[in-house]
Copies of this chain bind each other. A is one copy, B any other.
């Protein structure tokens, strides 16, 4: 049962390809009712469905939108995707999802492939902080919306969390705490690679001020963190550990468990939670909860505005969404 073409249905219905095409595009204006019904029946009988490829070759509309994220196994990202598809489902668009694996080169390759597939628009969680990196997308005249992270200088619609504010509010809780912390320890992946991480670090420093703040970078292993922590404890410090994202928070908690450290007696803990599980762990971990689904939904909305032919295009802007701060017993 090979795919049937417009030619074949047309013949079966006893009309020309042009008439078929008119039917498909709902140009019923000047078509006799009888022809229309005849075509309708034939289409149903043959289970005919037009080929998008052929259509789009002609019309330049692929009905494809590209979504480029850093890591698809990330919970934040999966909720983001949920939000995007949730908005897009009312439209007749399909999503081409690719992941960059946090590599700028791979990202570029994948984006090129997206363009090759003639996507009509792109939602991007950028790996690079430079707008110039993505200029080629604008050159190809493909609408672009950034999510989660921003690039400089400002150029495209960007939807992100209010990281500075939220982190600041959460970490300021340290001043209400019965525990007397002597140092803040921010655990993060490469801080300066991504705008978001920098914003959170800055927010933390602001929130706990005048407490001194140290940072430790988390790579493949947790060795650096473990060592840093033990050094601090050996020096009789009382650290407040801050995990800069959900993945890091998981590592931090597992490390503390492995070291049999008590929270918040030995160390305080706070951080970003993507899983919504932090409330169940230990005494309840104080966290920032983002709303990636909302970010995705809004990104979908923005992109559709840019893609739809007849909408007036709004000026690009940065949209900052508030995050929820959950105060629990871990500080």
Contacts and interface: CB of A to CB of B under 8 A. Distances in A.
Contacts of A293: 73
A116 B62 CA distance: 11
Contacts of A77: 78
Contacts of A64: 96, 117
Contact of A280 (B53, B97, B257): B257
A312 interface: no
Total identical chains: 2
Given A52-B117, A53-B57, A85-B99, A73 B62 contact: no
Contact of A141 (B1, B52, B97): B1
Contacts of A82: 71-73, 99
A211 to B, nearest CB: 27
Contact of A75 (B51, B78, B253): B78
Nearest to A284: B257
Contacts of A141: 1-2
A81 interface: yes
Interface of A: 1-3, 47, 49-54, 56-57, 62-64, 71-75, 77-79, 81-82, 85, 92, 94-99, 112-118, 136, 139-141, 250, 253-254, 257, 275-277, 279-282, 293
8 interchain residue pairs of minimum CB distance: A73-B82, A78-B78, A1-B139, A97-B97, A277-B277, A280-B281, A52-B116, A52-B117
